[in-house]
Amino acid sequence: MKWLVLIGVLLLLVVFLGFGWGGRGQAAIDVVGSTSIQPFAEMLAQEFNRQHPDNVVEIQGGGSTAGLQAASNGIADIGMCSRALKQEEAEQFTAVTIARDGLAVVVHPSNPVEDLSLAQVKAIFEGQATNWKEVGGLDRPVRIITREEGSGTREAFMKLVMGKGRISRKALTQESNGSVKELVKHDPCGIGYMSLGLVGGELKALRVGGVPATEAEVQKGRYPLVRPFCFVTKGPPDVKARQFIDYVLSAEGQRRLKEEGLVGAR
């Protein structure tokens, strides 16, 4: 009996030590932050890891603000942020814009509304226009779907559309681009906003102020709702992090981002 316990304890020790050594052997570059950038970063990291087996990149979500926090206190080597940095943040971090992304205002495909002005989008999300017929649609209530407080997508939307206005209290709050998409896809009365690169074929992205929400229009600078995707580091990035950032900014990395529906950094 005693022997069994002893053997058990020894086994546990070996397992823990094994993990400890395994962990130290591969010091990964941790990239943490925006769930909007996450799928693109994962795609790039996969390719990067194939090319550089000695320099492993690991991507985690959590949100823009969490990404900035993680970069600031050293948990992450690189933070991902899907909005322009605020004044005080810009002083604290070194930021690189890796791509630009349109913010699409999405509705159910059966919704006859095609085009909204910025002011109309604002009125809808503020809760002033509560019926689709007020903006030229059918006689149906408007169901607003927003993102949670602290999301980069939400903050970009607030800055670009709402200004000082507040999003209506009646807005449904979802915690990822995916669940916003899921809701709008099944709700003929729904309206939400999400990364243009993630819209896909099942939703309708509205024209904003007459300009269609397409990469081409974002590229030309005509589509009004555009935000940067940034990699931020605390101080200048170290060699390993630099290597990944350089890969993302390289012709190949940028080409891959464009293929996925984003717009190049410059």
Partner 1 sequence: MKEKAIHVVLMLLAFSAIAALAVITAFIFKEGVPIIAKVGIKDFIFSSDWYPLEGQFGIFPMIVGSLAVTAGAMVLGVVLGLACAVVLTQFCPQGMVAVIKPSVELLAGIPSVVYGFLGVVILVPLIRDYLGGPGLSVLASSIVLGVMALPTITSISVDAFQAVPRSYREGSIALGATEWQTTHRVILKAARSGIVAAIILGMGRAIGETMAVIMVAGNTLDVPHSLLDPVRTLTSNIALEMGYSAGDHRQALFATGVILFVIIMILNSIALTVSRRRVRKGAAR
Q: What angle do CA 174, 175, 179 make, to 5 degrees?
A: 60
In the complex, the smallest distance separating the C-beta of residue 237 from partner 1, rounded to whole angstroms, is 23
Strand-pair category, 172-174 with 57-62: unpaired
Q: Which of 114, 67, 110, 72 is nearest to 91 (CA)?
A: 72
CA dihedral 207, 262, 80, 24 (to 10 degrees): 150
Q: Report the largest interatomic distance among the alpha carbons of the chain, rounded to a whole angstrom.
A: 80
Question: Which region among 46-54, 111-119, 184-192, 235-243 touches partner 1 (by CB under 8 A)?
Answer: 184-192
Ranges of H-type helices in 52-205: 64-72, 87-92, 118-126, 152-157, 177-186
In the complex, the smallest distance separating the C-beta of residue 19 from partner 1, rounded to whole angstroms, is 25
Task: Give Cβ neighbours of residue 48 (< 8 Å, ≥ 6 apart).
Answer: 55, 57, 244, 247
Question: Which region among 18-26, 45-53, 148-156, 196-204 touches partner 1 (by CB under 8 A)?
Answer: 148-156
* Binding of residue 257 to partner 1 (CB under 8 A): no
Question: Which region among 117-125, 172-180, 219-227, 236-244 touches partner 1 (by CB under 8 A)?
Answer: 172-180
Residue 26 corresponds to which amino acid? Answer: Q
Six-digit token pair at 67? 């990404």
Q: Which is nearer to partner 1, 68 or 198 (CB)?
A: 68
* Binding of residue 140 to partner 1 (CB under 8 A): no
Question: Which region among 18-26, 90-98, 163-171, 206-214 touches partner 1 (by CB under 8 A)?
Answer: 163-171
In the complex, the smallest distance separating the C-beta of residue 151 from partner 1, rounded to whole angstroms, is 7
* Binding of residue 55 to partner 1 (CB under 8 A): no
* Binding of residue 169 to partner 1 (CB under 8 A): yes
Burial class (CB in 10 A: 0-12, 13-18, 19+), 82: buried
Q: Which of residues 65-84 bind partner 1 (CB under 8 A)?
A: 65-66, 69
Q: Which is nearer to partner 1, 56 or 172 (CB)?
A: 172
Question: Which region among 108-116, 187-195, 209-217, 250-258 touches partner 1 (by CB under 8 A)?
Answer: 187-195
Binding site for partner 1 (CB under 8 A): 62-66, 69, 143, 148-151, 166, 169-175, 179, 182-183, 186-187, 189-190
